Structure 1
């Protein structure tokens, strides 16, 4: 009988501890929602957020289809990686690019470096241009190497990711601005993509991880909200403006905290605010998420 009572007390203590932890996490999530609401305030934009760290999970506007813009270059790089591994091709393999494939009317550091000549370049370097420097020409060449835009969409779905659609190249989006809305994602879907790329112990995307750590665009977005000395791997995406409205201003990344990876996705759609305000909003939401991550760590203790 005494043993039974002792067991009952033990289960009661465990249940109490679990309830206390759940309440602590709920309180942290509530504070995060309040913080983000205060950050967005009356800004003229639609914001989507997905964040995860340890037991903390938060989403905002996860039923809204946000245009990915150049964030989809992450998906493209994943599909190219899969194609190389399937066909036994090394990332150091060299491909020849005729100068006619490098379009002039698009953002392309690659073309700026080689304005009037053909190029011989490794696939790994093409991936770096596409992801770290957001080069549009490099992206479309990689789409061809992967097997086409339909293959990119199909491959990401084969990983168990849903809640997105990828049907357009950089060229097609530049030909018709409205098509930038066709490449869309729910915030949590992009979070799932990041979790695949940075899954502990999975080396399939080691090259892509390293490239994302070296991203040169959007230093005023997620990285601006991260304390100095903490590594950030991320991919940005932004559109031109039409009638003063920016279709998208995005950042999706992984903050490598001592306690593990903190995944953060912030999508901004149809913003009438300035580029600097958009970036500052992403940085502020990042700071709020990291404060929540600290709260989650406290709840575990």
Structure 2
């Protein structure tokens, strides 16, 4: 019996390095940085060249809000790649297509009755997070089901669920919870996009460019990064209800490092009771910690 026990103990010692993974200092730091958010913080990181990954609440279903505009843009560009349309195709927009949600497009054309190209609608939707442009493109695609079909069958990504339009979410508070994603699946979609596995080069380059031109969320992923750092990203933001609850404060995208490498990152904060400045600082601090860790690597 003693010999048997000694053999088992020896085997356990031999297997220990393979069974127990040392705590990642970056993950530990993210745990601490997430605490001021007073909500659910989900983080997923992927080195696009070295394939190194890190996840914190990566499988949680978190509220997307306008982050959904990134997969919607990919679905539109898939139709362009298929030869069905070009970016110069225009859509006639009527006044009824411009409900009163956040919309620089409506600010420019308050009465509608204008033809706008897919190129411009995509730019409005992604770079300026225009809600009316989003819903016009969602209708053009045939609705949320068509985006889901593209994600699962074209991009081969699950864990992203889109059921409601921007207008739907504006009408009823609870509806925003039907549009959710898992952070690790959003990073998978970013990876599929960036590595050219889902879109042709021209479409990929166009979407990447308008993501670098994003005007929303300057204090999130970009907030603490060195000036001039290229970040192609898409934000998502909810309102705050009377009890001080904010369902979504998000930012996802690709950071270009000084060494020419790239890191895909998704940071979601769901059901937070912290104020907006705190929520944004949590995202900025996590992004900076990821950035610093990537620079420490020896490729």
Quickly name the TM-score band, shorter chain normalised. Answer: 0.7 to 0.9
CA 151–55 in structure 1, closer or farther in 2 if over 3 Å, else same: closer
How much does 1:160 deviate? 1.3
| Corresponding residue of 1:275 | 276
Matched, 1:39 2:39: no
Matched, 1:244 2:244: yes
TM-score (norm 2): 0.86
| Corresponding residue of 2:45 | 51
Paired residues of 2:135 and 2:166 also in contact (CA < 8 A):
yes
Matched, 1:75 2:76: no
How much does 1:42 deviate? 4.8
275-284 or 254-263: which moved more?
Answer: 254-263
112-121 or 231-240: which moved more?
Answer: 112-121
| Corresponding residue of 2:80 | 84
Distance, in Å, in 2 between the alignment partners of 1:96 and 1:200 is: 31
What's the RMSD between the two structures over aligned residues? 1.9
SS of match in other structure, 2:24:
helix
Query: What are structure 2's unaligned runs of at least 5 residues?
Result: 1-17
How much does 1:236 deviate? 0.1
Aligned length: 273
How much does 1:65 deviate? 0.5
How much does 1:213 deviate? 0.8
| Corresponding residue of 1:189 | 185
Distance, in Å, in 2 between the alignment partners of 1:110 and 1:292 is: 39
Query: What are structure 1's unaligned runs of at least 5 residues?
Result: 1-21
Matched, 1:215 2:214: yes
92-101 or 188-197: which moved more?
Answer: 92-101
Paired residues of 1:56 and 1:293 also in contact (CA < 8 A):
no
Paired residues of 2:37 and 2:278 also in contact (CA < 8 A):
no
Distance, in Å, in 2 between the alignment partners of 1:225 and 1:154 is: 37
Runs of 4+ in 1 over 4 A off after TM superposition: none
Paired residues of 1:165 and 1:182 also in contact (CA < 8 A):
yes
SS of match in other structure, 2:271:
strand
TM-score (norm 1): 0.86
